[in-house]
Structure 1
C-alpha cells in the first residue's frame, strides 16, 4: 500500500515508519526540516520536505506521492505550547485533508487524544461525546480536537486514534524528559501535564504500542478508537511509580479530581485485534528505562 505519513519525526512517527516499511508498504514521509528528511530516509522511507502549515507545499507533496492512505501524526509540543499545537490540529489537519482530497485519497488515520471526553464516572468509551461544557483553557483544547476529528471525517474513511498519554522515547515522560525535570524542581521545565498526585484518572500508552495501532488501523473501519493500555489509574498511583522509575522525588498525594479526568477504555481496539505489548504503566514505566 502507498502510504504518506505527516508527522513522521515525532514520538509516534519515529517507531511507526520502520513498522510500515517492514510491513511492505511504500512509505513517503513528510518533514519540515532537511534534518528530518534525512532521518526519514535513514528509516527506509522516502523523505519529502513540506510544512503542514504551508498548504501549497503540502498539496504538492501529497499529490506527488499519490498515496492510498494518509497518516496524520502531526503535533507541535516540543515547546509545550498549547496554542501552537491547537493551530496545527486545526490548520495542519485542514491542509492535509484538502491535499488528500485533491490527490483522490479516501482514507486517513489520524492522531487524537483520549482525555477530551465529557465529564462522567468511570473510564470513557468511544460513544461518550467530546466535552462540550469545559471552561478555558480546556475548552480551546477540546475545540481543536473536535476540529481535527471533524475535518478528518470529511474523507470517505477516517480512523481517529484517541491516544492515551504517550510515554517512551521522545516523550515528556521519558528519562530526562520534561516531567522528570518538573518533579526534580526545575522551574524552567516546559510541561503541559500535571505533577499533582491526586485522584485524577489517566490512561497511558507507550509510543511503540501507539505505532502498532496505526499500522493495524490501515484496515479498520472509520470512526474513533481509544488506543490506551489496560489500566486507567489515578495520579496518586501512577505518578509515584513514574517518579521512582525516573529517580526523582514523588509529590505527596492529595485528594480531588475534575469530572473529566476519567481515563479511557480500550475494548474497541482490542476487539479489532490490537493488544498493547505494555498492558500497564506499572511495568511500562520501568521498561522504558531499558528501551529509551
Structure 2
C-alpha cells in the first residue's frame, strides 16, 4: 500500500515508519524543516518538506505521492502552545482532507486523544460524547479535537485513534522530556506548571503501542477507537513513582496525600473496543511501562 504519512517526524511518526516498512508499505512522509526531511530519508522513506497549514503545497504533496491511504499524525507540541496545536488540528486537518478528496483517497487514520470525553464515573467508552461544553481552556482543546474528528470523518473510511497520554522516546513523559524536567524544578510550559499528585485519573499508552495501533487501523472500520493501556491511574499513584524513576524529588506529602476530588472528565478511558479488533498494548500498565521501563 502507498502511504502518505503527515507528521512523520513526530513522536509516533518516527516509531511508525519502521513498522510500515516492515509491512511492505511504500511511505511518503512529511516534515516541516529540511533537517526533518533528512532524518526521514535516513529511515528509508521518501520525504517531502511541507507545512500542513499551506493548503496548496500540501495538495501538491499528496497528489505527487498518489497514496492509497493517509496517516494523520500532525501535532505542534514542542512549545507547549495549545493555540498552535489547536490551529494545526483544525486547519491542518482541513487541508489534509481537502487534498485527499482531490485525489480520490477514501481512507485515513487520524490521531486524537482519549481525555476529551464528558465527565463520568468509569473509564470512557467510544459511544460517549466529547466534552463540548467544557469551559476554557479545556473547551478550546476539546473543540479543536472535535473539529479534527469531524473533518476526518468526511472521508468514508476514517478511523480516529483516541490515544492516551503518550510516554516513551520523544514524548513529554520520557526521562529527558518536559514532564521530568518540571518534576526536577526546571522551567515548564503552561500545561506542566500545576503537576499535582491528586485524584485525577489518566490513561497512558506507550508510543510504540500507539504506532502499532495505527498500522492495525489501516484495516479497521471507520469510527473512533480508544488506544490506551489496561490500567487508568490516579496522579497520586503514578506521579511520585515517575518522579523517583527520573531522579526528581517526590511531590510534597501534602500533594501526595491529596484527597480532593478530580474533575469528572479526569477518569481515563477503556480499550475494550481496540482489544476486540485484535490490538492490545505490549505494555499493559504504567506500572511496568511508564515507570520501570520508560524507553
Q: Return the TM-score normalized by structure 1.
A: 0.97
**Alignment match, 1:270:** 275
Extract unaligned runs of 5+ from structure 2: none
How far, CA to CA, are the matches of 2:132 and 2:291 in structure 1? 36
How far, CA to CA, are the matches of 1:288 and 1:39 in structure 2? 26
Offset, 1:177:
1.1
Could you report, residue by residue, the CA deviation over 1:237-290 in whole angstroms, capped at 9, with x for unpaired residues? Answer: 11112112111112132122111101000000000000111000111124544x
How far, CA to CA, are the matches of 2:197 and 2:61 in structure 1? 45
User: Map of 1:194-213 to 2, 5 A cutoff?
Assistant: 194-213=194-213
How far, CA to CA, are the matches of 1:184 and 1:245 in structure 2? 11
> Structure 1 residues 107 and 142, CA, compared in 2 at 3 Å: closer, same or farther?
same
**Alignment match, 1:98:** 98
Could you report, residue by residue, the CA deviation over 1:1-34 in whole angstroms, capped at 9, with x for unpaired residues? Answer: 0100001001100000111011100111011111
Give the secondary-structure state (helix, strand or coil) at the position aligned to 1:8. coil
Superposition misfits of 4+ residues, deviation over 4 angstroms: none
**Alignment match, 1:174:** 174
User: Map of 1:47-62 to 2, 5 A cutoff?
Assistant: 47-62=47-62
**Alignment match, 1:142:** 142
User: Map of 1:229-240 to 2, 5 A cutoff?
Assistant: 229-240=229-240
**Alignment match, 1:40:** 40
Could you report, residue by residue, the CA deviation over 1:193-244 in whole angstroms, capped at 9, with x for unpaired residues? Answer: 4511111100000000000000000000000000000000111011112112
Give the secondary-structure state (helix, strand or coil) at the position aligned to 2:166. strand
Give the secondary-structure state (helix, strand or coil) at the position aligned to 1:14. helix
Offset, 1:167:
0.4
**Alignment match, 1:259:** 264
How far, CA to CA, are the matches of 1:54 and 1:192 in structure 2? 27
Q: Which of 215-224 and 36-45 deviates more?
A: 36-45
Offset, 1:133:
2.4
**Alignment match, 1:192:** 191
**Alignment match, 2:288:** 283
How far, CA to CA, are the matches of 1:275 and 1:148 in structure 2? 25
RMSD, aligned α-carbons: 1.0
Offset, 1:192:
1.8
Is contact 1:203-1:233 (8 Å) kept? yes
Extract unaligned runs of 5+ from structure 1: none
